[in-house]
């Protein structure tokens, strides 16, 4: 039986920190010399972002590649994405990313990839997209709930300790029923799901963690989740 894996980073990896721990954890979760494809759709396929991806992964034991949709070539998207071992999704504008994925059928292909055993991962927009709902700033400075792909149940809020407005906004949304209960993750923390269930939380920074946020008696209740620090 193939395992269905999703690793959702609240923030971190090559684009946010110098520590290699979270990216190495992703690579090690996909086997030896994995094929890893970067989807930078949420950033508008930023060339600088894509170059940073190659600088990080070219010198590592993996086979890096990327897929652009703003400058789409003639390759078969489904065959290409299903040939990967890891699909790594960038941060950026979640709503725009999901809309573009839908136009090109990438959302449907990603579901097939997950079922085939391709590890799906990412940070920020690339973290919330896997859940039923996420907390996004896609429409400006004000944070808002937004429906996502629904591969994982519940909602998700990234950057929980990295942006001061995240914690109170997520608490308010859950308390008021504007978003389903779910999990928040600090920058440098990652939620590792296996077959749709939370397997473990890992971090590349001491003190970074994740939290369950639920409603109880008209209040948001936050419960820390034990977190494995990947450093020494």
For residue range 145-184, what is the model confidence (pLDDT) as tens digits?
999 999 999 999 999 999 999 999 999 999 999 999 999 9
With 60 as the cut, is the pLDDT of residue 60 above it? Answer: yes
Paired with 182 in beta bridges are 155, 213
Output the 3-class SS for 91-129: CCCHHHHHHHHHHHCHHHHHHHHHHHCCEEEEECHHHHC
Q: Residue 189 sits in which domain range? A: 5-229
Per residue in 189-201, pLDDT tens?
A: 999 999 999 999 9
Q: How many CA atoms lie within 13 A of 156 on its CB side?
A: 35
pLDDT of residue 59: 79
CB-based contacts of 212, cutoff 8 Å, min separation 6: 181, 182, 183, 222, 223, 225
The stretch 60-73 carries a mean pLDDT of 94
With 60 as the cut, is the pLDDT of residue 142 above it? Answer: yes
Question: CATH no. for residue 217?
Answer: 3.40.50.880
Question: How many domains does the chain contain in total?
Answer: 1
Is residue 57 classed exposed, middle or buried when 0-12, 13-18 and 19+ CB atoms within 10 A define those classes? buried
pLDDT of residue 116: 96
Q: Give the Cβ contact number of residue 22 at 10 Å.
A: 27
Per residue in 101-131, pLDDT tens?
A: 999 999 999 999 999 999 999 999 999 999 9
Q: Give the Cβ contact number of residue 163 at 10 Å.
A: 15
CB-based contacts of 2, cutoff 8 Å, min separation 6: 115, 116, 117
Choose among 59, 129, 56: nearest CA to 90.
129
With 80 as the cut, is the pLDDT of residue 20 above it? Answer: yes
> 124 an active-site residue?
yes
pLDDT of residue 197: 97
Share of the chain above pLDDT 70, in %: 99
- Start-to-end CA distance of the chain, whole Å, equals 33
- If you average pLDDT over every residue of the chain, what do you get? 96
With 60 as the cut, is the pLDDT of residue 86 above it? Answer: yes
pTM: 0.96
The stretch 48-68 carries a mean pLDDT of 95
CB-based contacts of 96, cutoff 8 Å, min separation 6: 41, 42, 44, 138
With 70 as the cut, is the pLDDT of residue 1 above it? Answer: no
Catalytic residue among 15, 90, 124, 155: 124
Q: Which residue has the higher pLDDT, 208 or 232?
A: 208
Please say whether the beta carbons of 116 and 1 come within 8 A.
Answer: no
Catalytic residue among 66, 159, 171, 192: 159
- Rounded CA-CA distance 204/100 in Å is 31
CB-based contacts of 46, cutoff 8 Å, min separation 6: 40, 90, 92
- Rounded CA-CA distance 56/33 in Å is 15
The stretch 220-229 carries a mean pLDDT of 97
- Rounded CA-CA distance 117/30 in Å is 9
């Amino acid at each position: 039986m193939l395992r269905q894996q999703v690793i959702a980073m609240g923030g971190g990896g090559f684009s946010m920190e110098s520590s290699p721990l979270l990216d190495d954890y992703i690579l090690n979760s996909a086997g030896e010399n994995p094929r890893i494809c970067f989807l930078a759709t949420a950033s508008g396929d930023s060339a600088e972002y894509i170059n940073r991806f190659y600088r990080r992964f070219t010198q590592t034991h993996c086979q890096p590649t990327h897929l652009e949709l703003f400058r789409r070539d003639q390759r078969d998207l489904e065959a290409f994405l299903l040939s990967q071992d890891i699909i790594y999704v960038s941060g950026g504008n979640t709503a725009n990313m999901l809309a573009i994925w839908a136009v090109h059928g990438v959302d449907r292909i990603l579901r097939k990839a997950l079922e085939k055993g391709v590890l799906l991962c990412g940070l920020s927009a690339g973290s919330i997209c896997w859940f039923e709902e996420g907390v996004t700033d896609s429409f400006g400075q004000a944070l808002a709930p937004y429906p996502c792909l629904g591969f994982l149940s519940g909602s998700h809020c990234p950057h929980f300790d990295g942006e001061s407005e995240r914690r109170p906004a997520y608490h308010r949304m859950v308390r008021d029923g504007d978003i389903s209960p779910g999990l928040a993750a600090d920058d440098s923390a990652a939620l590792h799901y296996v077959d749709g269930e939370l397997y473990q939380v890992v971090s590349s920074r001491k003190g970074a963690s994740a939290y369950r946020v639920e409603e109880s008696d008209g209040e948001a209740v936050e419960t820390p989740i034990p977190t494995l620090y990947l450093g020494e």
